[in-house]
Amino acid sequence: MEGVDQTDLGSFRDEIRTWLAENNPGTPPPLDTIEMREWSSAWQRRQYDCGWAGIDWPVEHGGRGLSFLEQIIWFEEYVQSGLPVGHSCFVVALAHAGPTLIARANDEQKAKYLPPILRGETPWCQGFSEPNSGSDLASLQTRAEIDGDMLVINGQKVWTSYAHLADYQELLVRTDFDAPKHKGITWVICDMHTPGIDVRPIKTMDGGAHFSEIFYEDVRVPISNVVDQINEGWSVAMSTLAIERGPAALDYQLGTLRDIDELIAVAKNKGLLKNEELAMRLAAVRAEGAALRSMTYLSVSESKSGAAPSPMTTAVRTFWGELQHKVGRLAVDVLGSESLELGKWSEYWLTQFSAGIAGGTKDIQKNIIGERALGLPR
């Protein structure tokens, strides 16, 4: 497929809408099982074969080399098509491992790892958080000792999404044990099939088990898998987190706006919009959803323009997490006793308890906003 003229974005949008209508899988992916991987792999491969994978990724890495504006249009139409957002074990690979490799990996690493991601062959997971190192990520203690041309890794990670389905992991390890906590960290590509890795799924209250804790015992990873340089991993991790909280979350955030519209439709069908207090709450979250979309576009524009990461990304992440919680609470109120049965909206409510924790707690995020954006004292 050829590049799209910027003056003809309307036709590009129509092309996407038609393709999605004709190729929608029709059924959602299975939950947290090997069948999910098979579903996700097949769907990603179909997008790749038809030219809809990696719209803004460089051509040399299997993408189409188009602008991020065209990638945004894809996200908008994808969300509006009703396809599930974020329910894929390729989320980490596509949303931030791949973009991090594009930005920071060497040519050999890019050639080896990027094309299989777009083809739907290699799911990834993220090995950042630890039992005592979540929001304070720099305090991580998983160790990697240099042994010739290998790193020998020992330690533990937790809250690792889809680790039980992943082939590779973006892994942060401590390689200099005497350096200050933000130094001496290394970002490494870890093959999840390496001996010594023990993945233990964690069942969550919404019935899923996509989180896992991971134990590493003398896991040997080639030094050639280090991205950038040994002991420079904090800088690489900041690139990953900037992507994760910015462009990578765009479809999720647009999905929240779709969820709000669907909830309003449910309330309307139940005749609940006659309840002035409930109608006002629904209108308020709809307005906040529109604000979230505008804030997200501004944040993404800044990141794609090459500007240094700003507190706007953190503000968007915090605002979004609080909005998700409001929507979940509203869903329970709209459904009433029906919410006692496990279904879409009850699952939404249960899932949103993590919205103010994932990616750094809302308290930490607000401290960042206060200190870096408003200049308040620590």
Question: For 121-163, how does the pLDDT look when each residue is reduced to its tens digit (9 = 90+)?
Answer: 999 999 999 998 877 889 999 999 999 999 999 999 999 999 9
Residue with tokens 């990304």: 313
pLDDT score, position 307: 53
Give CA torsion, residues 173, 175, 181, 186, to 10 deg: -50
In angstroms, the Cα distances linking 79 to 73, 110, 221, 300, 369 are: 10, 29, 38, 17, 29
Burial of 240 (0-12, 13-18, 19+ CB in 10 A): buried
Q: Which residues contact 320 (CB under 8 A, 6 or more apart)?
A: 249, 253, 256, 292, 296, 355
User: Residue 17: which residues within 8 A CB-CB, separation 6 or more?
Assistant: 77, 81
Amino acid (1-letter code) at residue 251: D
pLDDT in tens, 235-288: 999 888 877 766 667 888 899 999 999 999 999 999 999 999 999 999 999 999
Q: What value does the mean pLDDT take over residues 342-357? A: 84
1 — pLDDT class (breaks 50, 70, 90): very low
Q: What would the pLDDT profile of 209-219 be if each residue is shown by its tens digit?
A: 889 999 999 99
Burial, 68: exposed, middle or buried (Cβ in 10 Å; 0-12, 13-18, 19+)? middle
User: Is the confidence at residue 17, as pLDDT, over 90?
Assistant: yes
How large is the average pLDDT for residues 194-220? 92
Ordered domains of the chain (ranges, CATH): 7-88 (1.10.540.10), 124-231 (2.40.110.10), 245-373 (1.20.140.10)
Whether 306 has a pLDDT exceeding 60, the answer reads no
Enter the pTM of the model. Answer: 0.90
Give the length of the chain.
378
Please report, to the nearest 10 degrees, the dihedral formed by the alpha carbons of residues 17, 246, 61, 18 taken in order: 0
180-192 confidence digits (pLDDT tens): 989 999 999 999 9
Catalytic one among 76, 77, 213, 244?
Answer: 244
Known active-site residue 302: no
